[in-house]
Amino acid sequence: MSFETPRAVADALRSVDYLPDDRIAQVVFLADRLDKPILVEGPAGVGKTELAKSLARVTGRDLIRLQCYEGLDEAKALYEWNYKKQLLRIQADVDHDWEDIEQDIFSEDFLLTRPLLEAIRSENPVVLLIDEVDRVEVETEALLLEILSDFQVSIPELGTMEARTQPMVVLTSNNTRELSEALKRRCLFLHIDYPDAQREQQILAARVPGLSEHLAAQVAKVARSIRSLDLKKAPSISETIDWARTLLALSIEDVDEAILGDTLHVLLKYQADIEKAAKELTSSPPA
């Protein structure tokens, strides 16, 4: 499925309760048109992973996810030869000609596909999500380059495997490490920041059914206010959503200082932050 305009992207995403801003819609549109991967960067919990999931949902593609971590290697990301099966095969007929066996054990039947190869080999079109790519070491990043630019994987024993269908690739990064130029060059860059109060209000309305407009607006404003403080970890969208749900569950209609003070721990995860926010928000505003 291909999108006609950025607006169509926005509408489609909205239909699955993901509210994109102009930038997100435009970049997704471009990625679709130019068949380029998207590198999504931004603070934790602003909907980077959610974007990939929503894309899979609106396009009807399968989602294949590669969660990155320190120490990820090609055996976990690309493919691995199935040693056990190969050994068994060798043992099964010892009298057989070795050449034949060698041919045989290095065929696709003995290949264990890992997410990247799986995305390439899939019969159905897929969305490939490479999550938190900044966690792998620089050297491991190189594994991704071939797949990102040519949508293919080279296996020395088998040759080059090309994509059966063009995968839609989304990489996410929390920017804990500068990614290599080579990787960035191959991607469209999309920075997602905390939304402004208006958009956050819409997101809340879409994600928390039953939330009154008044409360959604208040929650969004409080979130903005807290984010303007100098905190260790500002509340993310997922945390404001949690907070809105909490308020709803407590059947609170209107947020005041006391309620905020009582429920602040839903928004903030560090004791120092909670104390700071409580002190700032519940005292009189700066003149």
Binding residues (CB under 8 A) for another protein: these are 5-6, 22-23, 26-27, 30, 33-34, 36, 39, 41, 73, 75, 83-84, 87-88, 91, 134, 137-138, 175-178, 181, 184-185, 187-191, 196-197, 218, 221-222, 224-225, 228, 230, 232, 256-257, 260, 270, 272, 276, 281-285
Interstrand relation of 38-41 and 168-173 (parallel, antiparallel or unpaired): parallel
Identity of the residue, 89 or 245, whose beta carbon is nearer to another protein in the bound complex: 89
Shortest spacing between CB 284 and another protein, in angstroms: 4
Shortest spacing between CB 285 and another protein, in angstroms: 4
Identity of the residue, 54 or 218, whose beta carbon is nearer to another protein in the bound complex: 218
The 3-class secondary structure across 189-247, one letter per residue, is EEECCCCCHHHHHHHHHHHCCCCCHHHHHHHHHHHHHHHCCCCCCCCCHHHHHHHHHHH
Nearest to 229 by CA among 265, 274, 198, 262: 274
Shortest spacing between CB 27 and another protein, in angstroms: 5
Shortest spacing between CB 283 and another protein, in angstroms: 7
Burial readout 226-239 (b: 16 or more C-beta within 10 A, e: otherwise): bbeeebeebbbbeb
Shortest spacing between CB 19 and another protein, in angstroms: 16
Amino acid at 213: E
Shortest spacing between CB 121 and another protein, in angstroms: 24
**Measured distance CA(42)–CA(52) in Å, rounded:** 14
Identity of the residue, 87 or 112, whose beta carbon is nearer to another protein in the bound complex: 87
Nearest to 199 by CA among 210, 190, 191, 207: 207
Identity of the residue, 156 or 209, whose beta carbon is nearer to another protein in the bound complex: 156
Half-sphere exposure of 116 (CA within 13 A, CB side): 29
Nearest to 281 by CA among 231, 239, 247: 231
CB-CB contact of 26 with 6 (8 Å): yes
Residue 279 token pair: 């002190």
Identity of the residue, 158 or 272, whose beta carbon is nearer to another protein in the bound complex: 272
CB-CB contact of 24 with 50 (8 Å): no
Identity of the residue, 165 or 261, whose beta carbon is nearer to another protein in the bound complex: 261
The residue count of the chain comes to: 287
Identity of the residue, 98 or 209, whose beta carbon is nearer to another protein in the bound complex: 98
Shortest spacing between CB 60 and another protein, in angstroms: 23
